[in-house]
Amino acid sequence: MRRGAGEKRAAAYTNPRSRRKKPIIIGIVAAVLLIAAIAVGVAVTLGKHKSTTAAKDSSTSSGDSASNPTTSGSPASGKIAAVTGSDGSTVTASDGSTFVYTNPFSGTWYWDPSDPYNNAARPQSWSPALNETFNYGVDKIRGVNLGGWLVTEPFIVPALYQTMQQRSTTTGTIIDEWTLVEAMQADTANGGLSQLEDHYKTFITEQDFAQIAAAGLNFVRIPLGYWAIEVLAGESFLPKTSWTYFLKAVQWARKYGLRINLDLHALPGSQNGWNHSGRLGSYNVMYGPMGIANAERSLNYIRMLAEFISQPEYRDVIAMFGVTNEPQGNSIGLSNLQTYYFAAYNAVRTASGTGAGNGPMVSFHDGFIGLDQWSGYLPNADRASLDSHPYLCFQGQSTNPISSYLTTPCDVWGGSFNNTMGNFGFIVAGEFSNAVTDCGLYVNGVNQGVRYEGTYISDGPWPTLGNCTTDWLDYQNWSPATKKSYITFAKASMDALQNWFFWTWKVGNSTAGIVEAPHWSYQLGLQNDWMPTDPRAAVGQCNNANPFTGTLSAWQTGGAGAGSIPSSVQSQLAWPPAVISFPGSASSAATLLPGYTQTGPLMTLPTATLTASASATATGATTAGSGWFNSADSAGMWEPIATCSYLDPWIGSSVAPPSPLCTGGTVRRGDMARQRAVEARVTATPTRRR
């Protein structure tokens, strides 16, 4: 979620801790296999091999084999659990518990532990099963974000932040995941960093995926921070752990027929300086003296993710890959952002190959630069899409009730989204919400104030318009008419945006035991009758007499011509850009900034420990894969140049690049030794292959 474009960060939060300038070096450490550490806890509590034949319903056994009938019996009863079912069937969850699958839209779940890559599940009768083609532009993406889960945010999980703040004696205000992690590390009495993993275990569970399918939704967008992959010394994040939970999410999505849009939400150095990038403060990707280096380090991670999700075991589930959430496009500049995106696109397509079915749709966030500016970007790109996050709540505020906004989404977004489908190609709203004001606990971050109440600390003055609690947040007392207005507003947003992900599925309680940002929770809206129970009801809400009807160019959906980007376009976008601009630069030529070189050993992401039986054929996949799809993708990883100096990746933009940039390298070698020593303690390196 963005703040208003161009806002300055609060002075109080600039450079919150004094940090030594410390060259940080991508560690080169012996390979450490982490398979054991990432074991995905798929509970295989069932005693025997079962049929892999999909039954329409658990109550009607497919019975392909008399000795291994598919039944709906629970494991506890000694019977064999069903591998599939529809509305009313009993599901055995991956933790061994059972629950009743409720899906009014004729969705079917599918889970056979002996065939764990089977993609037969379907979220609703009208959405393609995972083993069928999703026709972008024709089939609608109706999704939710799983915000606040693997990338925490104060406003989505306020109790986590409040509790740590109450306990914290050694740190200042906990404002982002970085400071949360520091506080947890100090809180050894309560388990230290395991408290963050406890949050991963509890905030989103398998039942959420079943509920999302039952809500008529067919996609989830899952924000992931780079720390899922690797954390270097001096960076306060929990390393690698969230990756384990992402792998669980993949299996749960598969089980309930949901497709995933993997959203790389937080990059090293931060791509936007906002709290939800992991660290509130400066931004350092394509901006500032470490802007090139951080982008190159990010390209390593993008490539590792792309190689992983392009494997046949994963590619039909992880159908989209948002390579970078909300970069500060207006500071970076359109052309440099496009150059960076092209490098990311190349990393993905080199991993996946081109053509429909080969790897994900790539998604580029618009960088808050007008949608029209993207017209014509990357002609012939194979399955590239644009991501935009329209919000009404972070601009001027108003006391007008929600009933006065019923056509606003149609008026302000409908035309531009519709036009973009024609002049760029596929566009998705990766985020939107039901909020029309910035009311809600921590919606602007911790201690940032609220525009509506006149207390917002940036970009004032903001007049006091009223009281958020009584005017907007008191959802327990909303009238039926107010709830109806929210449903209408949500439907108008959905119809205007066409393909969308609500931000977010769930908002946790504050320590007061209530949800204090109700406009941001799809689940709470369903529970309290202010979200549409069937999102298809949104179709036609805007009365768009002439909507985009879905004829994307063949190349945009992986058909003829896909991937044949003209060489003149490619050379314009060659990596690295010649010049990047930022306030502290003595000179902005990219050659005068720290950068990396592609000589590092390959790093792969660990796979889950799911093993299919030899007879499993659904995806042709009987193993969890190696983590790396394309063995011909063998260029080195970006790594430091032995003779060059580097700054702290989080240094900020007001610092000049190291001078001289590259010397005999003595300083750096000493630092690399230190880096290795510290890193070995902080985090094991990802698996290296070569």
> Taking contact as CB under 6 A, which single stretch among the options 23-31, 336-344, 418-426, 645-653 is the one that binds ligand NAG?
418-426
101 within 8 A of 88, measured Cβ to Cβ: yes
Here's the x/- map for ligand NAG, 143-172, by CB under 6 A: it reads as ----------x-x-----------------
Secondary structure string (H, E, C) spanning 635-685? CCEEEECCCECCCCCCCCCCCCCCCCCECCCHHHHHHHHHHHHHHHHHCCC
For position 139 contacting ligand NAG by CB under 6 A, the verdict is: no
Query: CB atoms < 10 A from the CB of 67, how many?
Result: 7
Name the 3-class secondary structure at 246. Answer: helix
The residue type at 613? S
Considering the complex, state which of residue 528 and residue 544 has its C-beta at the smaller distance from ligand NAG.
544
Considering the complex, state which of residue 3 and residue 297 has its C-beta at the smaller distance from ligand NAG.
3
Least distance from ligand NAG to the Cβ atom of residue 337, Å: 20
Q: Which of 407, 548, 597, 641 binds ligand NAG (CB under 6 A)?
A: 548
Q: Which of 3, 303, 315, 519 binds ligand NAG (CB under 6 A)?
A: 3
- Report 559-618 residues binding ligand NAG (CB under 6 A): none
For position 54 contacting ligand NAG by CB under 6 A, the verdict is: yes
Using alpha carbons only, give the angle 288, 289, 291 rounded to the nearest 5 degrees: 65
How far is the C-alpha of 371 from the C-alpha of 415, rounded, in Å? Answer: 11
For position 437 contacting ligand NAG by CB under 6 A, the verdict is: no
Least distance from ligand NAG to the Cβ atom of residue 508, Å: 6
For position 115 contacting ligand NAG by CB under 6 A, the verdict is: no
For position 335 contacting ligand NAG by CB under 6 A, the verdict is: no
Alpha helix stretches (DSSP H) within 412-463: 415-423
360 within 8 A of 260, measured Cβ to Cβ: no
For position 263 contacting ligand NAG by CB under 6 A, the verdict is: no
How far is the C-alpha of 343 from the C-alpha of 306, rounded, in Å? Answer: 13
Work out the end-to-end distance of the chain between its first and last CA atoms, rounded to an integer number of angstroms. 39
Considering the complex, state which of residue 334 and residue 457 has its C-beta at the smaller distance from ligand NAG.
457
Q: Which of 112, 115, 182, 453 binds ligand NAG (CB under 6 A)?
A: 453
Active site residue 679: no
687 within 8 A of 32, measured Cβ to Cβ: yes
- Report 526-545 residues binding ligand NAG (CB under 6 A): 544
- CA dihedral of 198, 200, 205, 206, whole degrees rounded to 10: -120
For position 400 contacting ligand NAG by CB under 6 A, the verdict is: no
For position 467 contacting ligand NAG by CB under 6 A, the verdict is: yes
State the number of CA atoms in the 13 A half-sphere of 107 facing the CB. 29
3-state helix, strand, coil in the chain (%, to 5): 30, 10, 60
Q: Which of 129, 348, 439, 621 binds ligand NAG (CB under 6 A)?
A: 129
Least distance from ligand NAG to the Cβ atom of residue 435, Å: 10
Active site residue 431: yes
Using alpha carbons only, give the angle 375, 381, 387 rounded to the nearest 5 degrees: 55
Q: Which of 78, 480, 513, 620 binds ligand NAG (CB under 6 A)?
A: 513
- Beta bridge partners, 85, equal 109
Least distance from ligand NAG to the Cβ atom of residue 76, Å: 27
For position 443 contacting ligand NAG by CB under 6 A, the verdict is: yes
> Taking contact as CB under 6 A, which single stretch among the options 87-95, 336-344, 398-406, 443-451 is the one that binds ligand NAG?
443-451
Residues contacting 430, CB < 8 A, separation 6+: 145, 221, 261, 263, 322, 325, 363, 365, 387, 388, 389, 501
Point out which residues bind ligand NAG (CB under 6 A). 1, 3, 54, 120, 129, 131-132, 153, 155, 274-276, 280, 415, 418, 421-422, 443-445, 448, 453, 467, 469-470, 508-509, 513-514, 544, 546-548
Residues designated catalytic: 326, 431
